Structure 1
Amino acid sequence: MNTLSQILVLAISAIFIQNLVLSRFLGLCPYLGVSTKMDSAFGMGMAVIFVMTMSSAFCSLIYKYLLVPYNLTYLSTLAFILTIAALVQFVEMFILKNAPSLYKALGVYLPLITTNCAVLGVAIINITPLPDGSTYNFLFATLNGFFSGVGFTFVLLVMAAIRERLALVDLPKSMHGFAHGMILAGTMALAFSGFVGLKI
């Protein structure tokens, strides 16, 4: 299988088959919290794509060239969290300066990207041995972070679009807010489980 085919397989797998939110159930806090409006969902998605891509790249380099050679792999989680925290600080300062309204809309969920288990999960997936015993190289680790971020953003936008439509519908009081969010999340997870049997 050539490199382009491997990248295509990685993209389809990260976005649809092994979607972080609907298949691995990582990153549910911003998924449910920021998916009420399309604009805030889009802003959060772009921030997550950037942080996920950059953290995958940096964490891959840190693991390969710092932790493994000095036999410090037991510090990988700590090193990854510190790397992610530094990137989130950069994104937070950038959004605050260039899009204050988006910064206000995202609220507490923007700094929570630091502790978003989806971002840390991708960094750990990148160093986890594959079935053949190898791990992702720098290129594939970075691309896995990018495609996982795209998958996260995709389901976030779909959820936001559905919730915006449901806001216009006359629902029983018991179905407002978090309740219909959980039902939608479960329904979307069931729909995406159909991709699991996809042979690529």
Structure 2
Amino acid sequence: MEHLELFFKSIFIDNMVFATFLGMCSYLAVSKKVTTAVGLGAAVIFVLAVTVPLNWLLDQYLLRDGALVWLGSEYADYDLGFLSFILFIATIATMVQLVEIVVEKFSPSLYNSLGIFLPLIAVNCAILGGSLFMQSREIGTLALAFNYGVSSGIGWFLAILAIAAIREKIRYSNVPAPLRGLGITFIITGLMGIGFQSFGGMLTGDNEAPEGVENTTVEQIEEKEIKEEIEEQEEAAVSYNQVVNK
């Protein structure tokens, strides 16, 4: 259940584009055609799926406070957390270089279409953000880290794919001149973000009662609130009468 909740939450609620606005540069620049958007989105999924688990291993066994205890008790007090950014970016750059070589080898047309934005995945804030969010949210297992990397990549992929499909249709629409280009794109992105955030009520599980607590109906909750309000009014009236009598 934890894996499933993390998967859907990372795609819809904590979407890299619509919730944290990460990776907006390539999101806006490479979303003019669906074909290029699919290629870049697939590359982002692959890079996140590989780098987030790798960086989780680095964080668990090298970077965090006491992570070097496996080398011996004398290393238990070492904290290499200040190296997080350097090592995370090094891992990301390595994977991006591998993706660039593979794409250039097997799909030269896609490589030419993506242009400079393919190697720029290495400095894409969405990729680094995936590893940093993994670290800050203290994801507990390697499987959850892999799940988070894949689902975050899918969320970014869906975002750029959706906006690319819409922008292809907008070319044939009568958009007001001041809004053409990035103007209408930003408006659509905001509306899409609202749509994605609407999944929050279904996936957070806030309506479920805690363990050991019986489920209560809306009528019971309202009745309890009314009783509490009446009791507060009675206590206020008693206090007022006591003050008046004095």
Percent identity over the alignment is: 40
Which residue of 94, 99, 122 maps to 1:114? 122
Q: Aligned AA for 2:143?
A: L
Shift in Å, 1:189: 1.3
Deviation (angstroms), 1:137: 1.3
Aligned-partner Cα distance in 1 for 2:25–2:90: 20
**Which residue number corresponds to residue 102 of structure 1?**
110
Query: Which residue, out of 164, 168, 177, partners 1:160?
Result: 164
- Report the alpha carbon displacement of residue 15 of structure 1 after superposing the two structures with TM: 0.5
2:38 paired residue number: 42
The question of 1:142 aligning with 2:146 is answered yes
TM-score for the superposition, normalised by structure 2: 0.75
TM-aligned CA deviation for residue 109 of structure 1: 1.2
Q: TM-score, normalised by structure 1?
A: 0.91
Q: What corresponds to 2:175 in structure 1?
A: 171
Aligned length: 192
- Aligned counterpart in structure 1 of residue 79 of structure 2, from 57, 62, 71: 71
Deviations 1:104-151 (A, max 9, x none): 111111111111111111101111145xxxx33111011100000001
User: What runs of 5+ residues in structure 1 fail to find an aligned partner?
Assistant: none
> Which residue does 2:217 correspond to in 1?
none
How far apart are residue 170 of structure 1 and its match? Answer: 2.7
Give the Cα separation in 1 of the matches to 2:58 and 2:109.
35
Give the C-alpha shift of residue 173 in structure 1: 2.9
Residue 80 of structure 1 aligns with which residue?
88
Larger Rg: 2
Q: What is the letter of the counterpart of residue 116 of structure 1?
A: N
Please list, as runs of the form range in 1=range in 2, the aligned pairs for 1:120-135 lying within 5 A after superposition: 120-130=128-138, 135=139
CA RMSD of aligned residues (A): 1.3
Instruction: Spell out structure 1 runs of 4+ moving beyond 4 A.
Output: none
The Cα of 1:196 is off from its aligned counterpart by: 2.8
Distance (whole Å) between structure 2 residues aligned to residue 58 and residue 193 of structure 1: 29
Larger relative contact order (CA 8 Å, sep ≥ 6): 1
User: Of 10, 27, 32, which aligns to 1:31?
Assistant: 27
